[in-house]
Structure 1
Amino acid sequence: MRYLQLNLLSVLATVPLAVLVTPLAPPWNDVAVKHAWNAVPADWESLGSPPAGTVINLHVALKPRDENALIDALYEVSTPSHPKYGTHLSKEEVTRLVTPHQDTLELIHSWFTHHGVPSSSISASHGGGWLTLVGVPVSQANEMLGASYQLYRPVGTNDSTILRTVGYSLPVVLHTHVQTVAPTTCFGPMRTPPRTPSVRARAAPADVGSREPVTAMSNRNEPEVITPEVLRWLYKTFAYVPAATDRNVLGIAGYNDEYPSPQDLGWFMSVFRDDAKDPAFTVEKVNGGGYDPSHPGVEANLDMQYTQSIAYPTPHVYYSTGGTLHWTPPSNEPASDDLLLTWLNYMLDKENIPQTISTSNGIDETRLPLEYATAVCILFAHLGARGISVLYGSGDYGVGRGDCKINDGSGRVQFIPTFPASCPWVTSVGGTTSQLPEVAASLSGGGFSNYFQRPDYQDDVVDTFLQRLGNKYGGMYTPGGRGIPDISAQAVRYMIVVNTNVFPVSGTSCSTPLTARMQTAAGIISLLNDFLISEGKNPLGFLNPWLYGRDGGLRGLNDITSGSNPGCNTDGFSATAGWDPVRPARL
């Protein structure tokens, strides 16, 4: 027996090492498409390959060991009837729920090694569930992903461009381990496209501090413009004075070089809320984000002025996020990162996060790969499990902009919801107009996700609506999809101050209707969190199971039963009693 063993070893010693290793190595050359568009997405054009030497940061999302663990925990801490309600998870507890299997980590790192990716360029976040490869040459990214990265920009514009590929592939063996790679086939900045401007500016008077609050009520007892006084009266927040300002914080996500001005905030509050003394906010710069208050943005000022006017003196943090996804000639230096992922990674890495977060930017679902949207959506579940209320606007184009025809030659129309509002783990905010009683604003985005299934918390109310709707719009929406919005608030004709000029805005290049209702809703939710914290209780966290519960928040809101949200060359959905995909109930 010993002779046979030695003889076998002698034979093996004569076999080339490559012959022994190759059958055990993963078949990296056996690749399959992970995601691809049939053509360059509508309204985008290619400007060709990027300059030689261009680099890109790649984000690789891995599947967790237990794909249900995080969502199960999120429901437990967010459902009032559950024994664990309000016992939100720590950063470390969330991390343990989303950690990938060790086999996944070993396999993905073996793939990196195969392509010569240095370990020094790889960093891990969210328990290893997301890996970031920094400074990857585009030529190497093309080889790894079977991609063809090019520069793209919106057709007929002089806008800055984005670096994307129409499709990418992965080795077959990785498909069950990798959720998505970004940035790849996600087209369009995380920003709602502009509406028609309506800005009428006038200078604030020198004695602005003594000026009476502007209410601008017409003979019909309806506000011609929206001011903090109108909102605080309409939503009955006058009587509450925040009492947990040492613990409760409101956060605002800022992008695209938009900055709020402390000077404009002071002028605004002295005009419209003169009981607020020395309003202030802090700025945190994310990923090289800037801050130049001498050049304030309309959107950023509106964000800060209206959350402050409702939630004052609650501390505010403005997150100025750099990395705009764009490059502008003649620099020839394309941006190398993903804006939304950059912000989420920053927030989730923090031990302490504001209990309420508002962010206005969004993008049509049709611009996103399903895998990308799913992976990002899960990151919002991380925030919810940690007790954070995250609000997103439902969009400003009703059920969809344009003709909404599917690009498959069939001519079929499909309504287009907005992401991240369509993610089940955020709270989506629709819009109302200033009429009394309020009605649904025609611009209010709403409908049903084509990507995300309807969450359990919506089953009862959505079934009721669909039974009432009947066969109308059959085939144009996904009845089993997540319904949006969840709540609504005033959306148009807000008075703001920019560069010490006071003017009303109703649809600017900064998508003011979306921004306005977001900040109103965020301010009110922050007040609710303040009350709970001041009473020694935990904050609301992820709102939706509470909102839709049997004895939940929607029962305490006013039902809006008139108005509609036209789009896609249709009349859209109509507001009715109970929940509807226009504006279910206003705060």
Structure 2
Amino acid sequence: MPGLLLGLSALSTATSVVHERRDVTSTNWVKASRVSPSEQHVVRIGLTQTSMEEAHELLMDVSDPSSPNYARFYSADEVAAKFAPSAETVREVQNWLAEGGIAANRVAQTENRGWLVFRASSQEIESLFNTTYHQYHNLATGQKTIACEQYHVSESIQKHIDYVHPGINLGASTATITGIKQKRSRRSLPRQAAPAEGTQGLNVTGCDRAITPDCIRALYKIPIARAPAHPNNSLGIFEQGDVYAQEDLDLFFKTYAKNIPPGTHPIPAMINGAKAPISQESAGPESNLDFELAYPIVYPQTTTLYQTDDVNWAANSSAGLFNTFLDAIDGSYCKYCSNGQCGNDPFLDPIYPDHSPDGYDGQLMCGVFKPTNVISVSYGKQENDLPVNYQRRQCQEYLKLGLQGVSILFASGDAGVAGPFGNSCLGNGTVFSPAFPNSCPYVTNVGATTVLPGHSVTDPEGTPNDYGLFSTYSSGGGFSNIYPIPDYQADAVATYFKDHNPPYPYYEGGDNLGKNGGLYNRLGRGYPDVAANGENIAVYRWGTAGLSAGTSASTPIFAAIINRIIDERLAVGKGPVGFINPVLYKNPSVLNDITNGINPGCGTDGFSTASGWDPVTGLGTPNYPKMLDLWLGLP
């Protein structure tokens, strides 16, 4: 056996190529001893999907307003079939394994067809992948794992393999911290102030002090919603580890939205043992905020609450983010491999059945809920928090949801260019930290604006960093280190650099992070795409009136407006609008341009707003009548 393994290793070196390499290891991970040669491991090889090279063009074909196929979306079954691993992929990888000493009778293909799985010793897999495995220990989380720094596969089958486990993935570098003031796992940070005088019954003349539903309607020219609402157009809102209280919603409706009856509540879509509502004294700031903002815009339309996970995982600081939600709304996501991930990650994601006290003792929910036409998400992390492949797989799922006509909107974050706590800067602590999933080119990012002190709803808004109740809060924005500038955004970003060039050195490409003193990636996808008010928001929590702030507020506002527009389209026999970015970047005049403000961080003033698109407020805030006219005029 040793002689055979040495021969295979030599063959691998001569004919193979590096498939994945980890160039940087977080200081929290300590490399320990090499794994024992005889230790047994479960090896999983993720198989590539078919047609992914076409995916971007397919999405643009149904999202670009100039396309003859605009809004001709695909069914979920059509999308799943389009991208499933091919029979050729399975055959070629199985043959390669057999040549490497892993006999066919040792290899199983998972039910979802995405993985080839086998058991092997460390010696066998080190030879197969021409690498060495070591034990790693995370000083922050206590997690232990095995991993390599790079591994090889045959050049002839590289195109058929997305990812190998165990591989280079170490898991998250730090614990995920949840909580209103703690933002490593960003619920995009709604901030609850002490009870504010004058928050009840304010009219639009006081909107620089408290933003009520009347202020929002006045800012963005939103009329009362048409009745009856379309029955198949509920606004989806994602929540995790934060639950609303019905009593608070009722108090808010009674005070600020008297047309909404007490007891009005979201349609429950409880994922993996999640429960809602909760007692008033335990209510979370994010859920209350989202529904108190969305309902006055969409009512009598409904909202749908996608609440994840059971109480143990929802508050677990080491759990991943969004995978169980995506599993629940798209069964194919549970079953395929993409960019290094097949199914859920055992080191990052919740594991079900959960036999812990109060745990969800059932199987992972897979494809049990139909996604709504619009989904608002006010949570996130930073690109640097999770493996690139983990993020790429989720990004592809947002693309697939766009193909099905679903609009996904994410909050851009609340720490400007810095990331959570303002201390998540990269490199030597000065390089800007882009957010996840905001950097994915197939979601719509929403930044924040504010009514400036002493100004009215008819005046141009600014950004919240220099004004208002929360002096440390600024709208998240910047440029990805993972994704290049998408084609629909290229002209807008080029114009920004040409006419409003930031006063900082830059690097080109995520692989060159910090090179030559650069603070941001000049070639990265820019965000946010749009903005809406996110400062001095009137809320009820724990039975008390107060103020809140954050791009958490901006996102449900913009999402609710898109949902309203879809309702009007449905009323005239048209359908949902899907991925909205290509339409907006071709028609920026339907938004209110914001030219006042910055988003500081990492010891700098961050980026500046400017005429046209900018990485603080994107293309600007909604103008409902103009947006409605635009989309009613499209197929």
Q: TM-score, normalised by structure 2?
A: 0.71
Q: How does 1:547-566 map to 2 (within 5 A)?
A: 547-549=584-586, 552=587, 554-566=588-600
Alignment-derived partner of residue 225 in structure 1? 210
Please tell me the residue identity of whatever aligns with 1:296.
Answer: A
The 3-state SS of whatever aligns with 2:218 is helix
CA–CA separation in structure 1 for the residues paired with 2:104 and 2:430: 43
Deviations 1:446-472 (A, max 9, x none): 111121111111121111111013472
Q: Give yes or no for contact 1:253–1:318 (8 Å, CA) kept in 2.
A: yes
Structure 1 CA distance for aligned equivalents of residues 583 and 521 of structure 2 = 24
Once the two structures are TM-superposed, the CA of residue 271 in structure 1 deviates from its matched residue by 1.4
Going from structure 1 to structure 2, the CA distance change for 1:424 and 1:431 (only over 3 Å counts) comes to: same
Q: 1:404 to 1:354 in 2, by over 3 A?
A: closer
Shift of 1:252: 1.2
Question: Aligned partners of 2:47 and 2:380: how far apart in 1?
Answer: 24
State the match for 1:357 in structure 2. 375
Given candidates 497, 510, 513, the residue that maps to 1:466 is: 497
Q: Aligned equivalents of 2:162 and 2:61: distance in 1?
A: 25
* Counterpart selection for 2:257 from 273, 277, 296: 273
Q: 2:20 aligns to what?
A: 34
3-state SS of the aligned residue for 1:68? Answer: helix
Please report how far the alpha carbon of residue 376 of structure 1 lies from its aligned counterpart in structure 2 after TM superposition: 1.8
Does structure 2 retain, via aligned residues, the 8 Å contact 1:325–1:339? no
CA RMSD across the alignment: 4.2
In structure 1, list runs of 5 or more residues that go unmatched. 1-15, 50-55, 155-159, 204-210, 507-512
Shift in Å at residue 338 of structure 1? 4.0
1:199 and 2:226 aligned: no
Call closer, same or farther: CA 1:234–1:405 in 2, change over 3 Å: closer
- The corresponding residue for 2:349 is none
For 2:600, give the aligned amino acid.
Answer: P
Q: Please tell me the residue identity of whatever aligns with 2:296.
A: S
Matched, 1:414 2:431: yes
Distance in 2 (alpha carbons) for counterparts of 1:58 and 1:280: 46
Whole-Å separation in 1 of the counterparts to 2:234 and 2:188: 30
Indicate which of 425, 429, 432 corresponds to 2:442. 425
* Secondary structure of 1:524's aligned partner: helix
Q: Which amino acid aligns with 2:171?
A: T
Aligned-partner Cα distance in 2 for 1:521–1:244? 18
* Matched-pair contact (CA < 8 Å) for 1:432–1:490: yes
Structure 2 vs 1, CA of residues 261 and 326 (structure 1 numbering), >3 Å: closer, same or farther? closer
How far apart, in 1, do the equivalents of 2:276 and 2:424 lie?
Answer: 38
Relative to structure 1, the CA distance from residue 72 to residue 558 in structure 2 (aligned partners, 3 Å threshold; closer, same or farther) is: same
Counterpart amino acid of residue 416 in structure 1 = S
What corresponds to 1:546 in structure 2? 583
Q: Which amino acid aligns with 2:230?
A: T
Which residue number in structure 1 is paired with residue 534 of structure 2?
491
1:578 aligns with 2:612: yes
- The Cα of 1:152 is off from its aligned counterpart by 4.2
Q: Does 1:179 align with 2:222?
A: no
Q: Cα deviations across residues 317-337 of structure 1 (Å, max 9, x unaligned)?
A: 1112127996999xxxx97x7
Q: Distance in 1 between matches of 2:68 and 2:245?
A: 44
Q: Distance in 2 between matches of 1:115 and 1:299?
A: 51
TM-score (norm 1): 0.77
Assess if the C-alpha contact under 8 Å between 1:430 and 1:487 holds in 2: yes
Q: CA deviation at 1:45?
A: 6.7
Q: Residue 309 of structure 1 corresponds to which residue in structure 2?
A: 296
SS at match of 2:159: coil
Q: Do the aligned residues in 1 keep the contact of 2:274 with 2:311 (CA within 8 Å)?
A: no
Alpha-carbon deviation of 1:556?
1.0
Amino acid at match of 2:267: T
> Is 1:77 the counterpart of 2:62 in the alignment?
yes
Q: Structure 1 residues 538-547 or 167-176, which shifts more?
A: 167-176
Alpha-carbon distance change, 471 to 328 in structure 1, aligned in 2, over 3 angstroms:
closer
Give me the whole-angstrom Cα distance separating, in 1, the residues matched to 2:314 and 2:585.
43
In the alignment, is the contact (CA less than 8 A) between 2:417 and 2:478 conserved in 1? yes
CA contact (8 A) 2:190 2:553 kept: no
CA distance, structure 1, for counterparts of residue 134 and residue 414 of structure 2: 33
1:216, 1:223 within 8 Å by CA — same for their partners in 2? no
Higher Cα Rg: structure 1 or 2? 1
Does the 8 Å contact 1:36/1:185 carry over to 2? no
Deviates more, 1:234-243 or 1:513-522: 234-243
Aligned to 1:299: 286
Identity of aligned residues (%): 28
Does residue 251 (structure 1) correspond to residue 236 (structure 2)? The answer is yes
Question: Does 521-530 or 99-108 show the bigger shift?
Answer: 99-108
CA shift, 1:247, in A, is 1.3
* Total equivalences in the alignment: 522
Change (3 A) 1:196 1:88: closer
**C-alpha distance in structure 2 between counterparts of 1:572 and 1:412, whole Å:** 14
Query: Is 1:347–2:365 an aligned residue pair?
Result: no
Q: Deviations over 1:509-558 (max 9, x none)?
A: xxxx0311111111111111111111110111100111111xx2x21111
Q: Contact conserved, 2:188 with 2:413, CA < 8 A, in 1?
A: no
Q: Distance in 2 between matches of 1:472 and 1:571?
A: 10
Q: Could you tell me which residue of structure 2 aligns to residue 453 of structure 1?
A: 484
1:311-326 to 2 correspondences below 5 Å:
311-322=298-309
2:245 maps to 1:261: yes
Q: Is the 8 A contact 1:215 1:223 kept in 2?
A: no
Cα deviation 1:114-159 (Å, max 9, x = unaligned): 7998959x442xxx5x55989x99x99x9999766767475xxxxx
Cα distance in structure 2, aligned partners of 1:59 and 1:298: 40
Corresponding residue of 2:572: 535
* Local SS of the residue matching 1:581: coil
Quick check: 2:42–2:117 contact (8 Å CA) kept in 1?
yes
Q: Deviations over 1:281-306 (max 9, x none)?
A: 12222233343522321111112221
Question: Is contact 1:63-1:179 (8 Å) kept?
Answer: yes
Contact in 2 for aligned 1:245/1:313 (Cα 8 Å):
no
Give the residue type in structure 2 aligned to 1:310.
I
Amino acid at match of 1:430: G
Task: State the secondary structure of the residue aligned to 2:322.
Answer: helix
Equivalent of 2:271, from 286, 299, 319?
Answer: 286
Structure 1, residues 373-393: CA drift from partner, whole Å, max 9, x if none?
Answer: 222211110111100000011
For 1:149-184, what per-residue CA distance to the aligned partner results, in whole angstroms no more than 9, with x for missing partners?
767475xxxxx7767667565552465333346874
Report how far residue 38 of structure 1 moved: 3.3
Give the AA of the match of 2:608.
Answer: S
Alpha-carbon distance in structure 2 between the residues aligned to 1:358 and 1:58: 37
From 424, 439, 463, the equivalent of 1:440 is 463
TM-superposed CA distance for 1:310, in Å, is 1.4
1:523 maps to 2:546: no
State the SS of the aligned residue for 2:384.
helix
Greater shift in the superposed pair: 537-546 or 488-497: 488-497
Match of 2:509 in 1: none
Partner of 1:215: 202
In the superposition, relative to structure 1, how do residues 328 and 245 fare at CA in structure 2: closer, same or farther (>3 Å)?
closer
* Cα deviation digits, residues 164-212 of structure 1 (max 9, x gap): 6675655524653333468743445482288695521489xxxxxxx99
Letter in 2 for 1:444: S
- Distance in 2 between residues matched to 1:115 and 1:73, nearest whole Å: 37
Q: CA 1:187 to 1:307, structure 2 compared with 1: closer, same or farther past 3 Å?
A: farther
Partner-residue secondary structure (3-state), 2:401:
helix
Separation in structure 2 between the aligned mates of residue 94 and residue 290 of structure 1, nearest angstrom: 31
